[in-house]
């Protein structure tokens, strides 16, 4: 019976750790357009790993397809951070 404990422990730990992208992930970012210069702050849902680097890669393409240039990803966070950013993002809240 002792020999079964270690594999069970490892299995439970793998299940509990789960992939980094399992939970909802959001990023707040800053972007711009030129001629005329326009700036905006926004919040977007991102897929994949919940890291600044992954969010930057995803948002760069998504914003670029809409004529915006990503300046930077401010932070990445879970659903608990949405409410506090909604007012600041205005019309760019979950737009892109």
Task: State in Å, rounded, how far the first CA of the chain is from the last one.
Answer: 53
Note whether residue 36 is domain-resident. yes
Total domain count for the chain? 1
For 60-92, the pLDDT digits (tens) are 999 999 999 999 999 999 999 999 999 999 999
Residue 14 is assigned to a structural domain of this protein: no
The pLDDT tens digits for 31-48 are 999 999 999 999 999 998
- Would you say residue 2 lies in a domain? no
Q: Order of strands, edge to edge, in the sheet holding 38-46?
A: 38-46, 25-33, 69-77
Closest CA to 79 of 61, 60, 94, 95: 94
- Judge whether 1 lies within some domain: no
Supply the range of the domain harboring residue 48. 20-92
> CB under 8 Å to 34, separation ≥6 — which residues?
69
Domain membership of residue 33 (yes or no) is: yes
Q: Is residue 10 part of a domain?
A: no
pTM of the model: 0.75
Q: Is residue 52 part of a domain?
A: yes
**Residue 73 domain-assigned?**
yes
């Amino acid at each position: 019976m002792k020999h079964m404990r270690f594999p069970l422990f490892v299995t439970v730990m793998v299940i509990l750790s789960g992939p980094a992208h399992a939970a909802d992930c959001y990023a707040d970012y800053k972007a711009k357009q030129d001629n005329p210069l326009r700036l905006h702050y926004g919040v977007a849902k991102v897929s994949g790993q919940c890291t600044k680097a992954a969010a930057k890669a995803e948002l760069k393409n998504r914003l670029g397809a809409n004529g915006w240039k990503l300046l930077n990803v401010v932070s990445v966070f879970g659903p608990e951070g949405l409410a506090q950013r909604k007012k600041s993002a205005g019309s760019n809240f979950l737009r892109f």
